[in-house]
């Protein structure tokens, strides 16, 4: 038999040695791989434990804050009860400590710790991994009713003002929703939305037959636009809408003074709200005036050359329209804005309504403020607000406008367009001396008259302990004194020179409301 050479034996031994090295290296490598794998599992388990503990502690702190506990000991009993109810632990998760205490500003502060037995630490040393969570809940001392009174006039389409307003108001609602969710009392925040231009629009379907809407024309302002050369003609505006083939879109007019600056219950006569109806103006070119009337949508049906006879005729409201009727032509002319939204805790619905805001018409801040007041008033038309002086409640108005009060002028006998103030010749807007604003008044006089009504309504609201925040946005003319004086205090007024900063301003106001009322 042939014996292997020494060289061949060496080669075989080296081959055997290489294979042994591979096996040895593989065996030694498995240990750290297993450790790393188990470590990843431990990390996932700790992360899950942290999430479970935080969610349970948040719920426990909120539940404890809503109890009538007055001491830390009482608060801890309540907090531990809620924490154990909300925390579901496996056998290797152990709750080791918890703390529920009262902090500054009516806050409830909570912390908790649980221990996780990890695979690696347990195998090596039997140790545990601590998981800690903490939270803070505002224990609200008051509830708030807030009306967002937002300028939706045509000038808001300039630049990005309308888009900036939508973002700012949306974020405000979200911030107040968060504050409400952290408050001790449920529904601590209710918000109303009041878009305005020269009028305010209601939900026509909901309020068409409401008793506080003038159903029969009993308010003295009803027949004024149907006055002819030989006297007034009585008209039911809803009947005229129907005769024209139109439906009331929901806009309303200013009440007759002094009710335009009060929250007097609407019951009869001048206290009722008149449905907005833009009258058909005289036939153009046949009325004896060189300037065309803007809102001539029906044939007058008369040969009279007297413009008041032509305009005041109520029999013409069965004639065929001269064009397509809508919010720029016809009885709903000037009623293009979005609807008011009453006090609600439907924050998602508020954000949707804010996103739908559109700009149209001239500026009448008093009518916007009037309906802002209506939404938080304990009286009609809505009666949604709690009674004035109710403990632990606050009523708040946030007004934003980008322009001066305006009643436009036009070279026609009406001396302007129809608006929530009617025509200027109706004398429905009072000057500061208590006399009606006359036809032919200058732009300055018209602005001053509406300014005086705004000053009065602000004073009347503050006398009822309503807090008012005012925001003036990119206004380059006139004085800021009016809005400064309307606000509750100097730090309740904001002069915004760039609409892109509106979000920061609204967030500041939301924070101020939460700090002053929800955390007190």
Write down all domains in the chain, each with its CATH number in brackets. Answer: 43-138 (3.10.450), 143-518 (3.40.50.410)
Q: Which of 292, 302, 287, 509 is nearest to 397 (CA)?
A: 509
Residue 339: per-residue pLDDT: 97
The residue to which tokens 């305009």 are assigned: 311
Query: pLDDT tens digits, residue range 447-500?
Result: 999 999 999 999 999 999 999 999 999 877 767 899 999 999 999 999 999 999
DSSP one-letter string for 360-394: -S---HHHHHHHHHHHH-SSTTT--SPPTT-TTEE
Contacts of 499 (CB under 8 A, 6+ apart): 159, 160, 161, 164, 165, 402, 473, 474
Instruction: Decide: 470 and 483 in contact? Cβ < 8 Å.
Output: yes
DSSP-derived pairing of the beta strands 493-496 and 466-473: parallel
Query: pLDDT tens digits, residue range 201-230?
Result: 999 999 999 999 999 999 999 999 998 877
The segments of the chain whose pLDDT lies below 50 read 1, 9, 13, 16, 26-27, 31, 33-38, 122-125, 520
Structure tokens that stand for 316 in this block: 């013409």
Q: Which of 144, 117, 148 is nearest to 130 (CA)?
A: 117
The residue to which tokens 């024209």 are assigned: 244
Instruction: Decide: 237 and 243 in contact? Cβ < 8 Å.
Output: no
Q: Which phi and psi angles does 94 have, rounded to 5°? A: -125, 120
Instruction: Decide: 155 and 402 in contact? Cβ < 8 Å.
Output: yes
3-class state of residue 175 by DSSP: helix
């Amino acid at each position: 038999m042939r014996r292997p050479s020494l060289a061949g034996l060496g080669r075989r031994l080296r081959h055997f040695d290489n294979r042994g090295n591979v096996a040895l290296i593989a065996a030694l490598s498995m240990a750290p791989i297993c450790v790393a794998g188990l470590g990843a599992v431990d990390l996932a388990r700790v992360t899950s434990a942290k999430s479970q503990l935080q969610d349970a502690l948040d719920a426990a702190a909120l539940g404890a804050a809503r109890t009538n506990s007055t001491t830390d000991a009482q608060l801890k009993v309540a907090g531990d009860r809620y924490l154990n109810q909300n925390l579901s632990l496996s056998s290797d998760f152990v709750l080791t400590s918890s703390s529920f205490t009262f902090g500054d500003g009516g806050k409830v502060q909570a912390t908790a710790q649980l221990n996780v037995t990890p695979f690696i630490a347990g195998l090596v040393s039997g140790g545990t991994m601590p998981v800690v969570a903490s939270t803070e809940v505002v224990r609200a001392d008051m509830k708030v009713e807030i009306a967002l009174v937002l300028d939706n006039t045509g000038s808001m389409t300039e630049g990005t003002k309308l888009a900036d307003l939508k973002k700012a108001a949306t974020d405000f609602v979200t911030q107040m929703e968060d504050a409400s969710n952290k408050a001790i009392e449920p529904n601590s925040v209710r918000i109303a939305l009041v878009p305005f231009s020269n009028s305010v629009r209601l939900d026509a379907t909901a309020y068409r037959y409401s008793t506080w809407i003038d159903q029969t024309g009993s308010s003295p302002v009803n027949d004024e636009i149907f006055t002819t050369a030989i006297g007034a003609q009585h008209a039911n505006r809803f009947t005229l809408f129907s005769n024209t083939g139109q439906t009331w879109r929901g806009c309303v007019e200013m009440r007759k003074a002094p009710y335009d600056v009060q929250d007097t219950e609407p019951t009869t006569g001048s206290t009722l709200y008149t449905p907005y109806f833009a009258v058909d103006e005289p036939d153009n070119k046949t009325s004896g005036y060189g300037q065309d009337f803007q809102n001539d949508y029906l044939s007058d049906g008369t040969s009279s050359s007297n413009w008041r006879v032509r305009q005041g005729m109520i029999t013409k409201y069965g004639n065929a329209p001269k064009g397509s009727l809508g919010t720029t032509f016809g009885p709903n002319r000037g009623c293009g804005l979005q609807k008011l939204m009453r006090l609600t805790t439907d924050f998602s619905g508020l954000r949707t309504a804010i996103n739908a805001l559109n700009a149209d018409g001239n500026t009448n801040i008093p009518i916007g403020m009037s309906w802002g007041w209506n939404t938080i008033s304990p009286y009609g038309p809505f009666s949604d607000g709690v009674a004035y002086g109710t403990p632990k409640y606050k009523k708040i108005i946030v007004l934003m406008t980008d322009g001066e009060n305006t009643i436009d002028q036009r070279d026609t006998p009406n001396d302007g367009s129809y608006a929530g103030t009617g025509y200027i010749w109706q004398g429905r807007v009072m000057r500061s001396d208590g006399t009606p604003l006359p036809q032919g008044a200058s732009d300055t006089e018209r602005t001053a008259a509406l300014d005086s009504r705004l000053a009065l309504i602000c004073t009347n609201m503050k006398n009822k302990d309503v807090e008012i925040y005012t925001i003036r946005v990119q206004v380059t003319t006139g004085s800021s004194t009016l809005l400064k004086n309307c606000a509750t205090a100097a730090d309740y007024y904001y002069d915004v020179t760039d609409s892109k900063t509106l979000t920061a301003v609204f967030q500041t106001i939301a924070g101020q409301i939460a700090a002053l009322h929800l955390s007190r």
